Amino acid sequence: MTRLSVNINKVALLRNARGGNLPDLIQFAKDCEEFGAQGITVHPRPDERHVRYDDLRPLKQVVQTEFNIEGYPSEYFLQNILDVKPDQCTLVPDPPGVLTSDTGWDMWKNQSFLSDVVRELHKVGVRVSLFCNPIEREVEGAAKTGADRVEFYTGHYAEQYESNREAAIAPHISAGKTAAELGLGVNAGHDLNLDNLAFYHQQMPMLAEVSIGHALISDALYYGVSNTIQMYRVLLS
């Protein structure tokens, strides 16, 4: 079964817009799990425009499924990861100020750096996933770092899905097979939604986990949080 991890960044963004604690991010994470989420994902950015670093410890205390923290491995980010010790840390190559994560690492150019970071996170028992473009050579580079998983960037898949879904999924299938052969777990995320998720899941039998935030929270405005999580779970069953 492919697990559904709910990214709650947009809930934090709504909270921060008024400066108070409405909606309550910690309670929302607990509710998501009660409604069927199999993980909670957050991505604290340097400007803390949505999830803040002071949210991490309270979330760690309440999340009962899997706590996944995404981010660029700056010194400050890594200090927080080593302190909080989430179940999984997903490393992304985002420069400061970027709107959203829209490409994977250059695994070979950053080989030494990523290997060092993976080694440090493994020392405290954190599973490491690397944000990765669905390219076989990049997957091979990810394996060299000692990482446990790759998370395929699915933005291009989502863009091409309506016009040619077979062409859109093809590089993911090839890269996914390579990952499986090399002993890497496969996660996926970015612009997956109620329209394109089922096909992606059906074509990717090695898929361990998807992380979905923007689309899921947007759908929840219409369907409600509980119903929406169940709708996504059905597509992954």
**So what's the pLDDT on residue 101?**
66
What's the chain's average pLDDT?
96
Q: Is the pLDDT of residue 199 over 80?
A: yes
Examine the residue annotation and report whether 122 is marked as an active-site residue of this protein.
no
Query: How much of the chain is helix, strand and coil, in % rounded to 5?
Result: 50, 15, 35
The rounded percent of the chain whose pLDDT value lies above 70 is 97
Give yes or no: 181 in active site. Answer: no
Nearest alpha carbon to residue 28 among 15, 43, 45: 15
Average pLDDT over residues 117-142: 98
Of 50, 66, 190, 209, the catalytic one is: 190
Residue 214 designated active-site: no
Question: Residue 167: what pLDDT?
Answer: 98
- pLDDT at 99 > cutoff 90: no
| Mean pLDDT in residue range 182-198 | 98
Q: Is the pLDDT of residue 102 over 90?
A: no
Q: How confident is the model at residue 98 (pLDDT cuts 50, 70, 90)?
A: low
The second-level CATH assignment, the architecture, of 3-235 is Alpha-Beta Barrel (3.20)
* Residue pair 128/89 in contact by the 8 Å Cβ criterion: yes
For the question of whether the overall pTM of this predicted structure is more than 0.85, the answer is yes
pLDDT at 163 over 90: yes
Confidence of residue 19 (pLDDT cuts 50, 70, 90): very high
Marked catalytic residue, from 43, 151, 172, 209: 43
Query: For the segment 22-43, what is each residue's pLDDT rounded down to a tens digit?
Result: 999 999 999 999 999 999 999 9
Predicted pLDDT of residue 96: 65
Q: Tell me the C-alpha distance between 102 and 36, whole Å.
A: 28
Catalytic one of 33, 50, 66, 70: 70
From CA 81, how far away is CA 121, in angstroms rounded? 8
